[in-house]
Chain A
Amino acid sequence: EPEVTQTPSHQVTQMGQEVILRCVPISNHLYFYWYRQILGQKVEFLVSFYNNEISEKSEIFDDQFSVERPDGSNFTLKIRSTKLEDSAMYFCASRTGIGNTEAFFGQGTRLTVV
């Protein structure tokens, strides 16, 4: 069964450092997302990406964040200068893009900023 894969599963970084979280969406999917889940809280939308550009971003997704689909398969989330409050589980999701079809989520990357 096709799945969304994310790497690494856990990333520990020092405050102020840059991190790149990587995702490989399902191959025939057209819409890509990043969501964030702070420990014990709800899943929050960060950004959506379609046709090689951001289609929507939340207020959380400030200038420290960026997304890229560098090679047609990977989808990355970069945080330029991490803060303690960036510590969370980050989920990548994708969907085919035909109507409101199922969004498939990856297993997540646990980011810990120390």
Chain B
Amino acid sequence: QQQVKQSPQSLIVQKGGISIINCAYENTAFDYFPWYQQFPGKGPALLIAIRPDVSEKKEGRFTISFNKSAKQFSLHIMDSQPGDSATYFCAASTSGGATNKLIFGTGTLLAVQP
């Protein structure tokens, strides 16, 4: 029940295209859903995050869509650029506890071709 399932495992998109990565969760206690971007040899960096009281959040070219009833959320990267090529992880956590640990998805390796 603590798992976060992520797909696809890898994704190739042409420059200017839309990249879409999907995640699903089981634990209804999760109330914070961040997306992290990781470049090779670097630590994960927060890209964008959403809470379940909204269905969509947009920051620049990055949008999270959230479907609470389906327990799914997705990352959309509009006008994808070669510099977006990285591994993307969705994650989930619960607030209110002493930990707020992040449960990560398995990651998606995105390659944006010029």
Residues of A within 8 A of B (CB): 4, 31, 33, 35, 41-45, 48, 50, 55-56, 91, 93, 95, 99-100, 102-108
Contact = CB atoms under 8 A, between A and B. Distances in A.
Given A43-B104, A50-B98, A91 B46 contact: no
Interface of B: 31-32, 34, 36, 41-46, 49, 51, 89, 93, 95, 97-107
Given A100-B93, A102-B46, A105-B45, A45 B102 contact: yes
B101 A56 contact: yes
B107 A42 contact: yes
Contacts of B104: 42-44
The 4 closest A-B pairs by CB, nearest first: A105-B43, A100-B32, A56-B99, A55-B98
Contacts, number: 63
Nearest to B109: A40
B7 to A, nearest CB: 13
Nearest to A50: B98
A105 B38 CA distance: 10
Given A103-B46, A107-B43, A55 B106 contact: no
B80 to A, nearest CB: 23
A48 B101 contact: yes
A50 to B, nearest CB: 6
B4 to A, nearest CB: 9
Contacts of B44: 43, 91, 105
Contacts of A48: 98-101
A100 B31 contact: yes
Contacts of B36: 43, 105
B95 A100 contact: yes
